[in-house]
């Protein structure tokens, strides 16, 4: 019986592999709009798709980021300045995209822009949470709603960058909250747009070394939040969390193509997946943990994490 089961699973994987290898035709005529292209996943994906001959419309937060990206790509790639937290900036970018795609519509929308803060919840205030949600969730929703008519016209793709932390919350702060929201919004969007032939994919990376997660950026930001907390909170928690986070960041994967390859597949395959888990930690640790009973997950996190200074 086990032999039949193994054979069935193997056959199913072979059929899925064959099905997913079918590539969309006329890629060189298709436009893809990507947010957050100053660095990290967005920057690499823009260069990757440009090398493949696609028409990349890259949104950057800064002019320096846009200039640097243009210097590394072909004349096909075009850039626009976009702040996803400002509706007027999104409206202007949408009009800019309309002028370029014309009647063809927008084949791909990649919502990649994001920020992160990892800390104990008690170190933070409402504004700290709002900053994360404004970029990672509300900004993504605003961009999507403005671009949807163009994507629907092309019967194209929406690719939303979530996180393994959108499956299981290991840290306080607004990051996991925002990524849980990305998962929920993407699920509802996928079902609604299926009636129009539009496909929605979610990318769920594990830990990767980007500007977003570098110790040069994360540690000072976390130290600043700790310094801003009141004296009672400082005494209760201590600074052990800083060294714990630094150790975690050092385990992050450097190969960003593990994520951008998933994004490219979601945009170019005739049969993209609904979800892509990128990175060994996402596949072997975080995703399995998200399916465990809550008490087991809590026990694993409790035993593996650094405790507050005055923990029981």
The angle subtended at Cα 174 by Cα 256 and Cα 149, nearest 5°, is 70
Cβ count within 10 A of residue 62: 12
Distance CA 244, CA 170 (A): 12
175 is catalytic: yes
Question: To 5 degrees, how large is the angle CA 57–CA 58–CA 61?
Answer: 145
Selecting among 175, 180, 237, 276, the annotated active-site residue is 175
What is the Cα 34 distance to its own chain's centre?
12
**Cα–Cα distance measured from residue 210 to residue 108, given in angstroms and rounded to the nearest whole number:** 23
**Per residue, what are the HEC states of 204-233?**
EECCECCCCCCHHHHHHHHHHHHHHCCHHH
* Distance between CA atoms of residues 111 and 165, nearest Å: 17
d(CA 149, CA 109): 11
Q: Is the dihedral of CA 65, 71, 77, 79 positive or negative?
A: positive
Q: Any idea which residues carry the catalytic annotation?
A: 175
């Amino acid at each position: 019986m086990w032999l039949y089961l193994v054979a069935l699973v193997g056959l199913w994987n072979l059929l899925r592999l064959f099905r997913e290898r079918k590539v969309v035709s006329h890629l060189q005529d298709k436009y893809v709009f990507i947010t957050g292209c100053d660095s990290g996943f967005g920057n690499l994906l823009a260069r990757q798709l440009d090398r493949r001959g696609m028409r990349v419309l890259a949104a950057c937060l800064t002019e320096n980021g846009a200039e640097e990206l243009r210097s590394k790509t072909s004349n096909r790639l075009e850039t626009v300045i976009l702040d996803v937290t400002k509706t007027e900036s999104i409206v202007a970018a949408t009009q800019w995209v309309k002028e370029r795609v014309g009647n063809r519509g927008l084949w791909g929308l990649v919502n990649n822009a994001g920020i992160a803060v990892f800390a104990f919840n008690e170190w933070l205030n409402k504004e700290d949470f709002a900053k994360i949600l404004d970029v990672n969730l509300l900004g993504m929703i605003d961009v999507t709603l403005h671009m949807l008519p163009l994507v629907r016209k092309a019967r194209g793709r929406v690719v939303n960058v979530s996180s393994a932390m959108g499956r299981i919350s290991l840290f306080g702060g607004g990051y996991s909250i925002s990524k849980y929201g990305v998962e929920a919004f993407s699920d509802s969007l996928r079902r609604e747009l299926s009636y129009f032939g539009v496909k929605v994919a979610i990318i769920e990376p594990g830990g990767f070394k980007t500007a977003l997660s570098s110790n040069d950026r994360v540690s000072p930001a976390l130290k600043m939040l700790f310094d801003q907390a009141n004296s009672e909170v400082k005494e209760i928690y201590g600074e052990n969390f800083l060294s714990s986070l630094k150790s975690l960041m050092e385990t992050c994967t450097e190969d960003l193509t593990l994520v951008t390859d998933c994004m490219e597949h979601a945009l170019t395959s005739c049969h993209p997946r609904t979800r892509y888990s990128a990175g060994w930690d996402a596949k072997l640790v975080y995703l399995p943990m998200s399916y465990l009973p809550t008490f087991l997950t809590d026990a694993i996190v409790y035993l593996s994490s650094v405790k507050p200074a005055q923990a029981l």
